Each structure stands twice: as C-alpha cells, then as structure tokens.
C-alpha cells in the first residue's frame, strides 16, 4: 500500500527469518526494542501486537508478560498521544476467560481468574484495554481494540506450543498427537490472512468506532475434531494420546462476530480445512529444509 513501516520487536518469540524478505524494501526498517521501555519515533498509525500469545511462552516469564501488556500499552499510548497517531490494540478472547456466555459477545465482561497461570496474559490484556479506554477519554487518542480469537497459519514457530502447530508438527513427524484433557473442549480457529484483513478494516473505520470488537472465525471445533482433521489432511499414521489438561484451560470458545460484520463489513473467508492445508504445506517445507540443513 506504499506505507513506510517501522517494525519494533524484541524477538523474544518472533523469528527474524519471518521478516527477512522485507529487508530489501527501503521503506521497511526494524528496531530491536522491548515495548516495556518507552519509545519515541514519528508515526501516524500504531499496531500494538507485542506480547507472546502461546501459553507455554507467556507463562515462561509471567512478570515480563504482564509488563509487556501493561507498560507496553502505556508507552505506545503515550507515543500516540504525542504524535496524534491512531492506535490499534491486539486484545484477546482471553478477556472472556472461561466464558459462561456462549458464543462470546463484546458486552460480556468475562469469567477470568486473577490468580493463576493464565492471569499474566488475561489480566495484562484486560489492563491494556482499560488504559486504551482511559487515554481515549482523557487525551482523545484515536483507539481501535480487536479481541482476537485463536489464530493460526504459516510462519508460526514449530515449537510455538499452541494446538494447531503442535498437532501439525507431530503429525508430520509421525509422533503421538498430544490431546490435553479429553479433547472435548472447543476453540474457533481463524486463518491469519482473514485476521489481517480484519485489522486493516478496523483501522479504517470512523474515529467514533473504538471497539472492542471480536475478530475470529465462528466455526467451532473440539480439540479432538481438530486432531482428526490434521491426521486426515497430513495422511499421518500418528495416534492421539491424552495428557493432563492445563489449569484454567477454557472449556469453550466461539466469537459472536455480528459487530465486526456490521461495523467493518468483515467476516472470515478461509474454512478450517483450507487454512490447515496451507499451514501443513508451510511446516512440511520447513521441516524438510531443517532436515537438509542438519544432514548438511
């Protein structure tokens, strides 16, 4: 679209190889920086996507995760207030916790544990929403908040730890597929391209629309169904095995996307099977490359 992009990342979970192809684009630059520290650059739009999103990664250093969401939001909101930039916040379906309302609508306040292994992520993101609200009220900062539901696609790390990448990598390697609990819990999986469309459409809405707005795919699947689809699409001989369900793991999750449909004219277009095929293709190539590098 001809924009100049400044990518700010501490690369705690992101891979530099994912932006390698952009390095030759002269309007693309990278600053290695952690958003828990203030940053001062000239910008007119900010997308705050900073924070590890996979439970094993955000739980590895929970204090840093909380700082990333809270101090990160504060620092970027201060930058937005100074520059007059419009600012996007990657919030999360985790603000609904283990939801008692199904599907989840934006005006549901959630069922979140403030004292547990997921709290650093959930409460960090909830606090960030509050800061966005307060900067909008106090300084008239133009804010856009998206509540993102489970997202997957090419360029995830093979060791990301979330369910889609775990199952695909396990299936491709012929390893056991690890189902946490009995696999009856549900999630709704959105392909990354659909999500990015949603970001752009939200950012382009009238300043009076701030969100929060759910962005996700309303197709809901049990984890067991996901495992079956991955086994079928990879043609793998892997078997499923059960592992303990992590503490506070939400039972069910599905977005109500009526608001996104109405305000953004957005809805996801990629069905789970198509998105899984593309993601399987990516991991297949990645694992083959890795095997060659290892032999080499």
Residues in the site for ligand UDP, rule: CB under 6 A? 55, 150, 162-163, 166, 178-180, 185, 187, 223, 245-246, 249
At closest approach, how far in Å is the CB of 4 from ligand UDP?
33
Task: Determine how β-strand 45-48 pairs with β-strand 213-215.
Answer: unpaired
At closest approach, how far in Å is the CB of 226 from ligand UDP?
8
* Catalytic status, residue 121: yes
CA distance 44 to 21: 24
Comparing CB distances to ligand UDP, the nearer of 182 and 232 is: 182
CA distance 13 to 30: 16
Q: Which residues pair with 146 in a beta bridge?
A: 90, 213
Dihedral of alpha carbons 148, 154, 156, 162, sign: positive
Comparing CB distances to ligand UDP, the nearer of 13 and 205 is: 13
The alpha-helical segments, DSSP class H, found in the chain are 55-60, 62-83, 119-139, 163-173, 192-203, 223-234, 258-264, 272-295
At closest approach, how far in Å is the CB of 140 from ligand UDP?
34
Comparing CB distances to ligand UDP, the nearer of 144 and 162 is: 162
Residues near 190 by Cβ (< 8 Å), separated by ≥ 6? Answer: 148, 149, 150, 151, 152, 215, 216, 217, 268
48 phi/psi in degrees, rounded to 5:
-90, 100
At closest approach, how far in Å is the CB of 54 from ligand UDP?
6
Dihedral of alpha carbons 204, 74, 97, 244, sign: positive
DSSP reduced 3-state for 288: helix
Report the 10 Å Cβ neighbour count for 125.
28
Q: Which residues pair with 63 in a beta bridge?
A: none
At closest approach, how far in Å is the CB of 265 from ligand UDP?
27
CA distance 179 to 119: 23
Tell me which DSSP letter residue 24 carries. Answer: T
Comparing CB distances to ligand UDP, the nearer of 8 and 120 is: 120
Comparing CB distances to ligand UDP, the nearer of 136 and 162 is: 162
Comparing CB distances to ligand UDP, the nearer of 33 and 102 is: 102
At closest approach, how far in Å is the CB of 291 from ligand UDP?
22
Matching residue, tokens 């069910």: 252
CA distance 95 to 153: 23
Q: Which two tokens stand for residue 30?
A: 């990278």
Active-site residue, from 121, 133, 180, 282: 121
Question: Mind telling me the catalytic residues?
Answer: 121
């Amino acid at each position: 679209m001809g924009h100049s992009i400044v990518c700010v990342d501490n690369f705690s979970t992101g891979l530099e190889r994912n932006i390698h192809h952009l390095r030759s684009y002269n309007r693309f630059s990278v600053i290695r920086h952690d958003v828990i520290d203030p940053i001062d650059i000239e910008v007119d739009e900010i997308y705050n996507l900073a924070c590890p999103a996979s439970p094993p990664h955000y739980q590895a250093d929970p204090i840093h995760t909380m700082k990333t969401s809270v101090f990160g939001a504060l620092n970027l909101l201060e930058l937005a207030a100074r520059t007059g930039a419009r600012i996007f916040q990657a919030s999360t379906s985790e603000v609904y916790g283990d939801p008692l309302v199904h599907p989840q609508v934006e005006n549901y306040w959630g069922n979140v544990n403030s004292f547990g292994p997921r709290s650093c992520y959930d409460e960090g993101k909830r606090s960030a929403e509050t800061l966005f609200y307060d900067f909008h009220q106090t300084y008239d900062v133009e804010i856009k908040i998206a509540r993102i539901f489970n997202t997957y696609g090419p360029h995830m790390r093979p060791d990301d730890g979330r369910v889609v990448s775990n199952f695909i990598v396990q299936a491709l390697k012929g390893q056991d597929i690890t189902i946490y609990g009995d696999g009856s819990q549900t999630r709704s999986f959105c392909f990354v391209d659909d999500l990015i469309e949603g970001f752009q459409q939200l950012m382009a809405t009238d300043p009076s629309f701030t969100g929060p707005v759910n962005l996700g795919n309303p197709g809901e699947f049990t984890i067991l169904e996901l495992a079956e689809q991955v086994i079928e699409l990879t043609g793998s001989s892997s078997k499923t095995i059960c592992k303990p369900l992590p503490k506070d793991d939400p039972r069910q999750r599905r977005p109500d996307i009526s608001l996104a449909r109405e305000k953004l004219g957005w809805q996801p277009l990629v069905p789970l099977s198509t998105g899984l095929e593309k993601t399987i293709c990516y991991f297949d190539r990645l694992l083959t490359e890795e095997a060659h590098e290892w032999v080499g």
